[in-house]
């Protein structure tokens, strides 16, 4: 299966139906650290100011972008509204 490298905008309600492969999408440790910092910032923005962020992630088909509020972060996932989860290892960027 070939990944689609164009970024598709999706609604957070669609994420529950996506399939996420195992494995880290970011190769470099500093990129992973930056992702962690950006996710913590997004969590603060979501909880304190109800501000949305854009998260780019990769499922088994290709790149996706969702604009949403981050409600929580665990060791393995980002939690969105209605307990929707995105695996940390599949997140490319947060803005």
pLDDT, tens digit (0-9, with 9 covering 90-100), for 21-73: 999 999 999 999 999 999 999 999 887 788 899 999 999 999 999 999 999 99
**Count of CB atoms within 10 A of residue 72's CB?**
13
Q: What is the pLDDT of residue 2?
A: 66
Q: Residues in the chain, how many?
A: 95
Q: Has residue 93 got a pLDDT over 80? A: yes
pLDDT (mean) for 70-89 = 95
Q: How far is Cα 55 from Cα 21, in angstroms, rounded to an integer? A: 17
User: Between 55 and 83, whose confidence is greater?
Assistant: 55
The pLDDT-based confidence of 1 (bands split at 50, 70, 90) is: low
Question: What φ, ψ does residue 10 adopt, rounded to 5°?
Answer: -135, 160
């Amino acid at each position: 299966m070939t990944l689609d490298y164009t970024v598709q905008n999706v609604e957070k309600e669609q994420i529950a139906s996506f399939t996420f492969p195992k494995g880290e999408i970011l190769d470099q440790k500093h990129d992973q650290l930056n992702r962690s910092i950006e996710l913590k910032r997004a969590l603060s923005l979501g909880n304190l100011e109800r501000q949305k962020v854009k998260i780019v992630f990769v499922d088994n088909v290709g790149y996706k972008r969702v604009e949403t509020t981050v409600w929580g972060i665990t060791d393995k996932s980002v939690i969105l509204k209605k307990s929707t989860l995105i695996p940390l290892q599949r997140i490319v960027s947060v803005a």
